[in-house]
């Protein structure tokens, strides 16, 4: 394992750079050193302990040495570690609360959490897998401009791959909320990092679905086959996702490192989504033949224009919230809408100015339609337990596990 330090350059000073964000991953956490050998010695075979120790250390070294950019290698190591870690969760093994697992914030390395609970460890591993998947989607949506023209084109295939990754990340986080947090005692939950609160995890999962829908809306805008109704539906679904994410996050303690920044991201995307929803709803209303249809449409266009201005302010607040980041150039659906909304709002206001004046007292902003949400998180299941935990294999390597545990209990009683 010693050579890993030289391979990944641990200890080298990182160049100061301001990260650009398209897909936001709230917080990357990484394992910190813990004494697995001492905690598990005599309870399970030495080679099982060594594999757990080496894989956990490997994850930490790669993450710290690359800043989390070696996504494929990290995902592979996490999956391999998970298949062995699952064995520690089995009640018949009696090992759930023996190891003090340590995790820290990859960004600053200072926020360290130490808890003796294997479900906390499993939760942290799945959370890291989710953050890596979000980071991978972000990478796909920020292509390198090798032409020097300043223009960056994201291919349709990359966009579709990014949507698939967002659904995968949402699945990891949903699994954390529904299948892991419920197994962690309340007193342990209170000591966990604020990034692992139920509401934060749920908000991030829904946010991933929202970003996937935003990419789909952009693809629909680019497609000649997509109808106006389809675009309105996607825009309204986008708004619903971010409304739900905001509700989840608003009930959380946001005093932790990424808390305020996460909330600003949700606010920014919520306001953008609302502008898109009103714009496309206005276009649908404007197809009507009654004068009230046109005035209602203009109300929608003007509301969308005001919301765009508000979204720019929210974007700046997000970027300036610590840690400072850069917003990407306008892309996809929002690039189209920032061009079209001011133009349409101005033109339609002039066309129906007289009607607006006549019906001023009756003017109200139309209610947006509600649609059933289309995207769902991918299902995630824990991997099969590594064969090293098979009872026959354990017995072949030495004393059976149950006898190890009995001997350990006898030693404690004698002491």
Checking DSSP bridges between strand 101-105 and strand 29-32, what pairing results, if any? Answer: antiparallel
Report the percent of the chain where pLDDT is more than 70. Answer: 86
Q: Which two tokens stand for residue 357?
A: 């004046």
pLDDT for 208:
98
| Residue 372 vs residue 404, higher pLDDT | 372
Model confidence at 77: pLDDT above 60? yes
Cβ neighbours of residue 120 under 8 Å, at least 6 residues apart? Answer: 101, 113, 184, 188, 192
Q: What is the pLDDT of residue 4?
A: 45
What distance in Å separates the CA atoms of residue 204 and residue 206, rounded to the nearest whole number?
A: 5
Per the CB < 8 A criterion, the answer to whether 270 and 243 are in contact is: yes
Residue 94 or 401, more confident: 94
Question: Residue 405: what pLDDT?
Answer: 47
Q: What is the pTM of this model?
A: 0.89
- What residue ranges do the domains of the chain occupy? 20-140
pLDDT in tens, 152-201: 789 999 999 999 999 999 999 999 999 999 999 999 999 998 999 999 99
Q: Are strands 29-32 and 112-115 parallel, antiparallel or unpaired?
A: unpaired
Partners of 103 in the β-ladder:
31, 113
Cross-strand partners of 31:
103
Segment 207-214 mean pLDDT? 98
pLDDT in tens, 255-272: 877 899 999 999 999 999
Cα separation, 152 vs 149, in Å, equals 8
Provide the pLDDT confidence category of residue 1 given band limits of 50, 70 and 90.
Answer: very low
| pLDDT, averaged across the chain | 87
Tell me the backbone φ, ψ of residue 120, rounded to 5 degrees: -65, -40
pLDDT number for residue 355: 67
Q: Which residue has the tokens 């935003």?
A: 214
The three state secondary structure string of 65-92 is HHCCCCHHHHHHHHHHHHHHHHHHHCHH
The answer on pLDDT for 393 being more than 80 is no
> Any bridge partners for residue 20, and if so which?
326
Q: Work out the average pLDDT over 50-65.
A: 94
Burial 138-152 (b: 16+ CB within 10 A, else e): bbbbbeeeeeeeeee
Report pLDDT for 389: 80
Q: What is the mean pLDDT of residues 307-336?
A: 92
- Could you give the CA distance from residue 86 to residue 119 in angstroms, rounded to a whole number? 9
Residue range 119-146: mean pLDDT, rounded? 92
State the helix-helix crossing angle for 259-285 and 332-351, rounded to 10 degrees: 50
Q: Are 194 and 259 in contact (CB under 8 A)?
A: yes
> Among 2-6, 290-294, 356-360, 361-365, which range has the highest average pLDDT?
290-294
3-state secondary structure of 31: strand
Q: Does 32 score more than 50 pLDDT?
A: yes
The pLDDT of 16-28, averaged and rounded, is 85
Q: DSSP class of residue 197?
A: -
pLDDT for 2? 41
Angle at 350 between CA 348 and CA 355, to 5 degrees: 85
Q: Is the N-terminal amide bond of 231 cis, ω within 30° of 0? A: no
Q: Is the dihedral of CA 325, 328, 329, 333 positive or negative?
A: negative
* CA proximity to 277, closest of 344, 352, 370: 370
How far is the CA of 345 from the CAs of 45, 143, 218, in angstroms? 71, 32, 21
């Amino acid at each position: 394992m010693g050579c890993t330090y030289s391979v990944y350059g641990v200890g080298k000073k990182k160049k100061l750079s301001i990260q650009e964000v398209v897909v936001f991953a709230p917080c990357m956490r990484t394992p910190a050193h813990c004494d697995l050998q001492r905690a598990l010695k005599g309870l399970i075979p030495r080679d099982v302990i060594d594999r757990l120790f080496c894989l956990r250390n490997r994850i930490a070294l790669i993450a710290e040495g690359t800043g989390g950019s070696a996504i494929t290698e990290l995902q592979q190591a996490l999956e391999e570690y998970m298949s062995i870690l699952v064995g520690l969760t089995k009640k018949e093994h009696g090992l759930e609360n023996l190891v003090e697992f340590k995790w820290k914030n990859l960004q600053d390395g200072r926020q360290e959490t130490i808890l003796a609970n294997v479900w906390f460890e499993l939760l942290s591993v799945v959370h890291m897998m989710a953050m890596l998947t979000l980071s991978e989607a972000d990478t796909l949506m920020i292509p390198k401009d090798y032409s020097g023209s300043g223009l960056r084109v994201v291919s349709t295939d990359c966009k579709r791959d990014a949507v698939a990754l967002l659904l995968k990340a949402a699945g990891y986080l949903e699994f954390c909320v529904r299948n892991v947090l419920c197994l962690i005692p309340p007193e342990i939950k209170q000591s966990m990092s604020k990034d692992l609160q139920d509401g934060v995890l749920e908000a991030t999962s829904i946010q991933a679905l929202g970003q996937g829908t935003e990419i789909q809306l952009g693809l629909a805008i680019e497609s000649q086959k997509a109808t106006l109704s389809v675009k309105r539906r996607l825009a309204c679904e986008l708004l619903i996702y971010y409304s739900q994410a905001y509700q989840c996050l608003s009930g959380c303690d946001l005093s932790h490192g990424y808390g305020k920044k996460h909330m600003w991201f949700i606010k920014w995307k919520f306001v953008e989504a609302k502008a898109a929803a009103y714009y496309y709803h206005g276009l649908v209303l404007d197809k009507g033949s009654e004068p009230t249809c046109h005035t209602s449409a203009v109300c929608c266009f003007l509301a969308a224009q005001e919301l765009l201005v508000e979204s720019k302010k929210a974007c700046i607040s997000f970027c300036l919230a610590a840690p400072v980041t850069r917003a990407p150039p306008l892309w996809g659906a929002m690039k189209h809408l920032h061009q079209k909304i001011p133009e349409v709002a101005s033109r339609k206001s002039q066309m129906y100015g007289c009607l607006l004046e006549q019906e001023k007292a009756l003017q109200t902003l139309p209610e947006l339609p509600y649609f059933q949400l289309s995207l769902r998180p991918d299902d995630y299941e824990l991997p099969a337990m590594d064969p090293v935990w098979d009872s026959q294999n354990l017995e072949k390597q030495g004393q059976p596990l149950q006898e190890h545990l009995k001997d350990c209990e006898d030693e404690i009683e004698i002491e």
